[in-house]
Structures are given as C-alpha cells and as structure tokens.
Structure 1
Amino acid sequence: MELYSLIDIMDVSKSLHFPHRLPEPRALLILVKPITWFPPIWAYLCGVVSSGVSPWSNWGMVVLGMVLAGPVVCGMSQAANDWCDRHVDAINEPHRPIPSGRVPGRWGLWVALVMSALALGIGALLGPWGFGATVFGVLAAWAYSAEPVRLKRSGIWGPGLVGLCYEGLPWFTGAAVLAAGAPSWPVIIVASLYALGAHGIMTLNDFKALEGDRQTGVNSLPVTLGPERAARVACWVMTLPQLAVIALLLGWDRPWHALAIGALLIGQFWAMRILLSDPKGRAPWYNGTGVLFYVSGMMVAAFALRMTGGSG
C-alpha cells in the first residue's frame, strides 16, 4: 500500500478519538447523499403506478413511502456504508465526510443507527407488507456494508443486493402498500427483472472505487475482471432483463409499451458503445445517460402493468 494511503488511514483512526467535536451540518447532508435517493423513490412510484390503485386514494401513504424509501432507508444505507468504508474512502476519496474528519468520532455510526430505528418506526405505519419490506431493507443495508457479512466484498452478491434494494424492493413495497396486499405475479416478476438489471448499474458504480477496492480486498467485478470485461458484463446484465420485460409485455398484449421500452433500450445501446470505448472514464457519464433510459423504461412498464390490473 502506498505511503499516502497509510497516512490517510491513520488520519481516519485519529479522528475517531475526538468524539466531542460536532459534525459539520453540510457534511451530515453529504453523508446521507441526497443524489442517491432518486432511484428508490422512483422505484416506489413505479410500484404505486403498477398497483392499479389510484395514488390519490391514499396519497398520505404515497408520500410517506417516498420519504421512507429515499431520505430515510437510502440515506441510512449511505451513512452505514460510509462508516464501514471509512478506511477504504481514506484511499479513494479522503475528502469525504468521515475520513476528512468533518463527521468526527463515531457520529457516522450513530447517524446510521438512529436512521435505522427511524426507518423501522416509519415502516410500521405502512402496514405489515410495508413494515416487512422495511425490515428487509434495513438488514440488507447492514449486511452489505458491515463485518462479518460485508456482502460488498463480492462482485456478485454486493451489486445484486443493492440492485434489489434500490429497484425491486421499493417497487414491491409501493405496489403492496397501495393495494393493501401482495402484488400480483406480473408486478413481482417485472420488478424482479429490473432489480436484476440494476446489478449492472451497480457494477458500473464500483469503477470509482477501483484502487481502494484492490488494496482492501473488495472483489468487485472491475477488480476481478478488469474494467473492460466488467463493463461488458454490466451491459449484458442490464440488457437481458429488459429484453425479458419486452417479451412479457408482448405476451400480455401491451405492444405499444413494449415498443417504447425497446426504443429506450436502443438508446442504451448507443450509450453502451460510448461506455465501452473507455469504461473507467465513461462510467460516470453512462450513469447520467444510459441509466436515465433504463429507469424511464421502468415507469413505462409500470403503466403497462397498471392496465393489466396490477394488484392480485
């Protein structure tokens, strides 16, 4: 490990010995990463739409679920991940709130724990299905980041769990809360397919931590396969579930929705070509372009499911 990495890690360790310092308010906001709240909120809204129930019939649950999926559960998972990754971040991104000392002591841990309790409290207000999904989401967040489980170490299980919790679980929750019961099998299948495809999105997200992951034993796909092969795998993983959704919609007599998702997939193929020309450099660009096509397709599929009578 390089000397600067050792120095950064020593700085993180020293910052833990000053628990009486207060964190910077702006650093706390950065810790819970508001920019990451959009995917689970969007997926929750996809679930609401796909349920076949008017959102206006219970708009309070819609708003509460959005707050739970984004700021609370997703924000908690980001705080937990930053706390558990503080030594990795000292290598990759020493300016982040915890390694920089702007969130000193064990404040990062306490924020994650308090938000975990808050998530469970809010989840209990969403009925048994909403509460069950919240419990799963909280446990999954800690299983991803914390020892001894730390599924983040795996390039297969780590991105898969995040994809499930960012796309599949909120979709299921939104549909279940509005329908006041289990979603129909078409809703579950489509939500699961988009969660599977999100594995590829999460793999691309791992490119930014490539050096730190190598040095700390995190076997992400960019580490184990190399950037070029990992990017190709990610593209296939994003593509195949969408092709399955298109086939299902055609089988369910929703050709126009299938056509729209097909057009969005063609847009992703264009973005993928650019990504593959420089996977490490273009991964952030793809997250702002190709992923937009992907999540747009999710909402198209949700409206198609709504027309089939989403709740079962």
Structure 2
Amino acid sequence: MSVTLDLQSRRRMPHPRAVLTLIKPITWFPPIWAYLCGVVSSGVPVMSAPWLVLAGVLLAGPVVCGMSQAANDWCDRHVDAINEPHRPIPSGQIPGRWGLWIALVMSGFALCLGALLGPWGFGATVFGVLAAWAYSAEPVRLKRSGVWGPGLVGLCYEGLPWFTGAAVLSAGAPAWPIVVIALLYALGAHGIMTLNDFKALEGDRQTGVNSLPVTLGPERAARVACWVMAVPQVVVIGLMAVWDMPVFAGIIAVLLLAQVWAMRVLLTDPKGRAPWYNGTGVMLYVSGMMIAAVALRMMGAG
C-alpha cells in the first residue's frame, strides 16, 4: 500500500502556486532594480529600445533569478528539511525531481532569451546561469563558503545586472566609471547576503555550510556585514565628490547615515533584527544605487 502511494506521489504534477513559491518573486526585485540602474547609467534614452529594457527586466528577475532560486531549493532540499520544512520541495508540494527539471528548463530558457540581447547580454546570461549552479550544486557548491558564496550572489544580484543593463543599451562595453560603481555596490551586497544567511543558521551548522553566521557567530558576522555594506558606499561618495557631483554625494551620504542608524539597531539583536534590517537598511542601500546611476547619467559616463 505504501509503495502504491509513493508511486502515485511521484506521478503527480506540482501545483502552479507551489511553482511560483519555488521561484520566489520577492527575490526578483534586486536584480531587476540593478538592471534598471544600468539602463539609467548608460545615458541611452529608454524609449529608444523599450523592448531591450523589458526583455532585460524579464531575464534578470523572473527567469535568471527565479531559476537560481529553483536550483538553490533543489540543491538545498536536505537543509530546508531542517530549516524550513514547509518549503515546496521538502514539503512534497513539488514532488519527485520536478524541482530539478524546473531549474534546468528555466536555465535553457534564460540562455535563449539572453541570446536576443546581443553578445553582451548573452555573455552575462551565461555567466549568471553558471554562477547560479556553481553556488548551489555539488561538487563546487560555493554556498559552503561564507566568503565566496555571498560574494558571488552579491555580484550576480547587483553588479552583473547593472553591467548588463548598461552594456545592452549601449551596445558595447560600459565606461569604466559605470563598471567601478557597479562593482562597489556588488561588493557591498556581500554584507546583505550574509545577513540573509541568518535565517538558515541551524541547518547550515548541521549540514556543513560555513556561512559567516556559522563560523563567526551572529554578533561578529553582523558587524562584518555592516562594515562590508558601508565601506563601498563611502568609496562611492568619495568618487562622486571627485567627479564633481557633490549633490549626489551628499544624498548618498545621508542614505548611508540612515543605514548606520539601522545597523546600530541590528547589532542589538543580530539574529532577531536581520529580517527587519533587510526591509529597512537594504531599501536605503538600493536607493543609493539609483542615485549613483542618475549621477553617472548626468556625467555622460555611458
């Protein structure tokens, strides 16, 4: 009887709502925002190629980011059974190997869509797809490292989409100021990803994922994350001042000061306050990204 039930469970299709939960729409915002920052910083009129903007938004958010979430949940199904057993795969809402097939099909679709964005868009898509699997899947599984894992995710969430948006609209390599600013915000995103690891602390500890909260403890990891988020923004402010954009430097500085206040609140209870900071400090962080993108546009950096 149990064998019959098991075979029936393996045959059933995943519910559409479970699939949507698997690809986590809430995570699409950062890469979409970064892509739009790239579009703005390029200096190219948006309406000159609106389909490139829309295709890039679709690619950065639902397709590549959604694919990476599916791949991560499939590769983390044993960890999630400890941390979050209600998730679609460990709970059985996504049965059998459907999680893997969804991630693979979305990877192929991402490459097809990326090919429509020209050589720069396609190259960035290839990098993003490979990075998603390198982060989650054995034998590479960079997620095991508290340094390389968050660094790769920060690069793919903030730096790579920014670079891609600027390159696709410009039909060429972005100017070096755009690349530098995109890399600085990608570096700072390492701290954001470290805070995101707090929710999986217990499962990571049990399964050998050496995130910074596991290796350093919540308090020290939170302090490191705060410094990693703040220092690149200080450099951005300095560059804006050097590039004769004092108003934009001042606005980003005010946003950073607000983040410092939020960081002080975070450090009173790192594990408990991490979700609050992700909804408060991170919004201030990404607001600074768009301010910097507008400054680059006004400079004619593209």
Instruction: Give TM-score, length-normalised by structure 1.
Output: 0.94
The residue aligned with 2:291 is 300
The residue aligned with 1:125 is 116
Aligned length: 298
Once residues 204 and 53 of structure 1 are traced to their aligned partners in structure 2, the CA distance between those partners, rounded to angstroms, is: 35
Relative distance call for 1:254 and 1:85 in structure 2 (3 A) is same
SS of corresponding position for 1:19: helix
SS of corresponding position for 1:218: coil
Structure-to-structure mapping, 1:158-237, within 5 angstroms: 158-237=149-228
The residue aligned with 2:93 is 102
Contact 1:16–1:106 under 8 Å retained in 2: no
Once residues 260 and 16 of structure 1 are traced to their aligned partners in structure 2, the CA distance between those partners, rounded to angstroms, is: 60
Are positions 1:155 and 2:146 aligned together?
A: yes
Are positions 1:249 and 2:244 aligned together?
A: no
The residue aligned with 1:268 is 259
Once residues 31 and 249 of structure 1 are traced to their aligned partners in structure 2, the CA distance between those partners, rounded to angstroms, is: 40
Residue by residue over 1:153-212, the C-alpha shift from the partner in whole angstroms, topping out at 9 and shown as x without a partner, is: 000000000000000000000000000000000000000000000000000000000000
Instruction: Give TM-score, length-normalised by structure 2.
Output: 0.97
Deviation larger for 266-275 or 16-25: 16-25
The residue aligned with 1:258 is 249
The residue aligned with 1:61 is 52
- 1:15 Cα deviation from its structure 2 partner: 7.4
Once residues 215 and 121 of structure 1 are traced to their aligned partners in structure 2, the CA distance between those partners, rounded to angstroms, is: 38
- 1:16 Cα deviation from its structure 2 partner: 9.7
- 1:310 Cα deviation from its structure 2 partner: 2.6
Relative distance call for 1:272 and 1:16 in structure 2 (3 A) is farther
Once residues 42 and 65 of structure 2 are traced to their aligned partners in structure 1, the CA distance between those partners, rounded to angstroms, is: 23
Pick aligned residue for 2:277 from 283, 286, 300: 286
Is there any run of 5+ residues in structure 1 with no aligned partner, and where? Answer: 1-13
Relative distance call for 1:17 and 1:132 in structure 2 (3 A) is farther
Residue by residue over 1:52-78, the C-alpha shift from the partner in whole angstroms, topping out at 9 and shown as x without a partner, is: 111111011000000000000000000
Residue by residue over 1:242-270, the C-alpha shift from the partner in whole angstroms, topping out at 9 and shown as x without a partner, is: 00000000000000000000000011011
SS of corresponding position for 2:249: helix
Contact 1:15–1:104 under 8 Å retained in 2: no
Once residues 260 and 153 of structure 2 are traced to their aligned partners in structure 1, the CA distance between those partners, rounded to angstroms, is: 23
Instruction: State the identity %.
Output: 79
- 1:25 Cα deviation from its structure 2 partner: 1.2
